């Protein structure tokens, strides 16, 4: 079973002015595609090839660095596209709002912690909301790593690699993180992921 590059769940220009079409032409059509192509090459003749993507990511971690890097980047980008939507930000579904207040004290604190983690991650990586031990936590991971390999379930992700924001924000990662939370984040998707993760953990 080959890994497949999914279409973006929105039009290339749907997130303007916060992300340009050019960003998605590079980020999805070139960067994400390369991870999929590389992972498929590395999976040839590997017994993991028939397994679900989450299994490939978890099993290759620490055992097969090249496969892990490419398969995890495929997983991470699939999550990232679904974490975005046109006219995003705005109100948070009640179930997720409650989980954020239970875990962080307030929604504002959860957002603040996510931005802090994103700004503080040195070099390439990802910032996440994830479910761990029944609580929503903020995580920052380096390069291709993700919550799956740290005993947590991803809820929402922010790509911190420069290829994500350099065209539209140059080096201003904090501005990108703020635009992500104010105008692009898909809280409905995060709420779905949070409920599913809670059910799985129960
Ligand atoms: Mn990326």
Between CA 74 and CA 77 the distance in angstroms is 5
Q: What is the mean pLDDT of residues 130-149?
A: 98
In three-state secondary structure terms, 15 is: coil
pLDDT of residue 162: 97
Asked whether the predicted pLDDT for residue 12 surpasses 90, the reply is yes
30 CA to centre of ligand 1 in angstroms: 10
195 CA to centre of ligand 1 in angstroms: 26
How would you label 8-31 residue by residue, b for 16+ Cβ within 10 Å and e otherwise?
A: bebebebbeebbeeebbebbbeee
pLDDT digit string, tens, across residues 145-179: 999 999 999 999 999 999 999 999 999 999 999 99
pLDDT of residue 202: 83
Q: Are the CB atoms for 91 and 18 separated by under 8 Å?
A: no
Tokens of 171: 């080096």
6 CA to centre of ligand 1 in angstroms: 14
Q: What is the mean pLDDT of residues 138-145?
A: 98
In three-state secondary structure terms, 12 is: coil
pLDDT digit string, tens, across residues 75-120: 999 999 999 999 999 999 999 999 999 999 999 999 999 999 999 9
100 CA to centre of ligand 1 in angstroms: 26
| Sheet with strand 135-142: strands edge to edge | 135-142, 125-132, 153-159
| CA 168 from centroid of its chain's CA atoms | 19
The CA-atom distances, in angstroms, between 44 and each of 1, 16, 41, 49, 55 are 10, 39, 6, 7, 16
Asked whether the predicted pLDDT for residue 124 surpasses 90, the reply is yes
81 CA to centre of ligand 1 in angstroms: 10
24 CA to centre of ligand 1 in angstroms: 10
pLDDT of residue 26: 98
The CA-atom distances, in angstroms, between 43 and each of 141, 143, 149, 185 are 24, 20, 19, 32
The CA-atom distances, in angstroms, between 64 and each of 8, 39, 77 are 28, 11, 20
23 CA to centre of ligand 1 in angstroms: 10
Between CA 183 and CA 21 the distance in angstroms is 16
Instruction: Give the confidence band of 201 by pLDDT, cuts at 50, 70, 90.
Output: confident
Nearest CA among 201, 124, 191 for reference residue 156: 191
12 CA to centre of ligand 1 in angstroms: 15
User: In the chain, what are the domains?
Assistant: 21-82 (1.10.287.990), 94-201 (3.55.40.20)
Q: What is the CA radius of gyration of the chain?
A: 16
**Threshold 0.85, pTM exceeds:** yes
132 CA to centre of ligand 1 in angstroms: 24
- Beta-carbon contacts of 66 under 8 Å, excluding residues fewer than 6 positions away, are 38, 42
pLDDT digit string, tens, across residues 52-75: 999 999 999 999 999 999 999 999
pLDDT of residue 163: 97
78 CA to centre of ligand 1 in angstroms: 10
31 CA to centre of ligand 1 in angstroms: 7
54 CA to centre of ligand 1 in angstroms: 18
pLDDT digit string, tens, across residues 181-198: 999 999 999 999 999 999
Asked whether the predicted pLDDT for residue 1 surpasses 90, the reply is no
First to last CA, the chain: 31
């Amino acid at each position: 079973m080959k890994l497949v590059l999914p279409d973006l769940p929105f039009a290339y220009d749907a997130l303007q002015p916060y992300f340009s079409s050019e960003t998605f032409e590079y980020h999805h059509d070139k960067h994400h595609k390369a991870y999929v192509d590389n992972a498929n090459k590395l999976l040839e003749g590997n017994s993991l090839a028939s397994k679900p993507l989450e299994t490939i990511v978890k099993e290759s971690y620490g055992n097969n660095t090249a496969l892990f890097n490419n398969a995890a980047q495929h997983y991470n980008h699939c999550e990232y596209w679904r974490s975005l939507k046109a006219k995003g930000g705005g109100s948070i579904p009640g179930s997720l709002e409650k989980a954020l207040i239970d875990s962080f004290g307030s929604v504002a604190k959860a957002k603040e912690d996510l931005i802090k983690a994103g700004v503080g991650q040195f070099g390439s990586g990802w910032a996440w909301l994830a479910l761990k031990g029944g609580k929503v936590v903020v995580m920052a991971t380096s390069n291709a790593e993700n919550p799956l390999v740290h005993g947590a379930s991803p809820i929402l992700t922010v790509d911190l690699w420069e290829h994500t924001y350099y065209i539209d924000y140059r080096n201003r990662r904090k501005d990108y993180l703020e635009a992500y939370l104010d105008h692009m984040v898909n809280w409905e998707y995060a709420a779905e992921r949070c409920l599913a993760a809670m059910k799985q953990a129960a």
